Copies of this chain bind each other. A is one copy, B any other.
Amino acid sequence: MSQSRYKRSERIAAMTSILTNHPNRQFGLGTFSQQLDALKSALSEDLGVVKRTLESLEIGEIHSATGAGGGIRLIPRMPREAQQLFLQQLTEELIKPERILTGGYLYYTDLISSPDMVQSMAEMLAQHLDFKEADMVVTVETKGVPLAFMTARLVNRPLVIVRRTSRVTEGSTISVNYRSGSTGTIQQMVLSRRAIPAGSRVVMIDDFMRGGGTARGMHDLMKEFDARVVGSGVLMATREPRQKRSGPCTPLLYLESVNEETGEVLISPNEALWKE
């Protein structure tokens, strides 16, 4: 092989961009070797620089696996200080009195559809939940879909969106009924039979949890697929009831209280995130 077309610094720029653009996806050194016309040994050294830098700044990790299924993947990370600052800024935004809706609900649809916000939320969920055993990420339509999708993207797992009504474009479906803790009504969850193979392990991501009724319904639905919920994370959970009907769930924030009369909203970060 002749001298590489690209200099070291150029190869580093190229590989960093490709790896960052596909978080947690395994790339073989051969792919880069071809694309950048460089020896694998040189690329290994280049990747050492990338690894050292991202880890020193705490913004990412490079994992290498050797052998047949081997390759390199990049896992974005968020420094602890950045996480705390982000939750603080998010809280300041969420407690604005004009966000209070009739019934004591909070309007935050704008925040969980904003790319930068969702990126940080998803990075935190991907970092604090355990996806090692998970085959896929599941969520219930609609508000939590961007967050669930971005989390799925960061851990490189497919997303499955459970719907509330049956659609003709999904083929035959399985449905369960559940009682929503937020509204107290009986609701339906519907999922295409094709969506989840038997034996799958899923992590549930949603935007909000009150009593855990939706998550309970998800457990029931997964049973119908011979699948199992192995983890659960939400942007925000109410502090009460402490025992959610669905079992353990990791929220980024706790909603302590909403006072419609005074306009006071109390939200606190989930301190347990940093006690691992």
Binds B, one of A7-15, A226-234, A250-258, A264-272: A7-15
Residues of B within 8 A of A146 (CB): 145-146, 149, 159
Is A57 touching B14 in the complex (CB atoms < 8 A)? yes
Residues of B within 8 A of A118 (CB): 149, 153
Is B195 touching A59 in the complex (CB atoms < 8 A)? no
A241 to B: closest C-beta gap in Å: 19
Q: Contacts A105-B168, A145-B149 given; indicate if A115 touches B13 (C-beta within 8 A).
A: no
Tell me if A84 counts as interface (CB < 8 A to partner B): no
In this complex, what residue of B is CB-closest to A183? B168
A50 to B156 CA separation, bound complex (whole angstroms): 26
Tell me if A80 counts as interface (CB < 8 A to partner B): no
A197 to B: closest C-beta gap in Å: 11
Q: Which of the four size classes fits the interface of chain A?
A: 35 or more
Interface string of A74-116 (1 = CB under 8 A from B): 1010000000000000000000000001110111011001111
In this complex, what residue of B is CB-closest to A152? B115
Tell me if A16 counts as interface (CB < 8 A to partner B): yes
Tell me if A179 counts as interface (CB < 8 A to partner B): no
A60 to B14 CA separation, bound complex (whole angstroms): 10
A66 to B: closest C-beta gap in Å: 22
Is B149 touching A161 in the complex (CB atoms < 8 A)? no
In this complex, what residue of B is CB-closest to A111? B158
Q: Contacts A10-B49, A12-B13 given; indicate if A195 touches B160 (C-beta within 8 A).
A: no
Tell me if A29 counts as interface (CB < 8 A to partner B): no
Residues of B within 8 A of A170 (CB): 101, 107, 109
Binds B, one of A20-28, A127-135, A212-220: A20-28
A103 to B: closest C-beta gap in Å: 6
Is B14 touching A17 in the complex (CB atoms < 8 A)? no
In this complex, what residue of B is CB-closest to A146? B149
A114 to B149 CA separation, bound complex (whole angstroms): 9
Q: Contacts A13-B49, A16-B13, A49-B13 given; indicate if A160 touches B192 (C-beta within 8 A).
A: no
Residues of B within 8 A of A163 (CB): 142
Residues of B within 8 A of A17 (CB): 16-17, 20, 50, 54, 59-60, 74, 76
Tell me if A143 counts as interface (CB < 8 A to partner B): yes
A116 to B149 CA separation, bound complex (whole angstroms): 11
Partner of A101, one of B14, B56, B169: B169
Residues of B within 8 A of A223 (CB): none
Is A113 touching B149 in the complex (CB atoms < 8 A)? yes
A265 to B: closest C-beta gap in Å: 14
A271 to B: closest C-beta gap in Å: 26
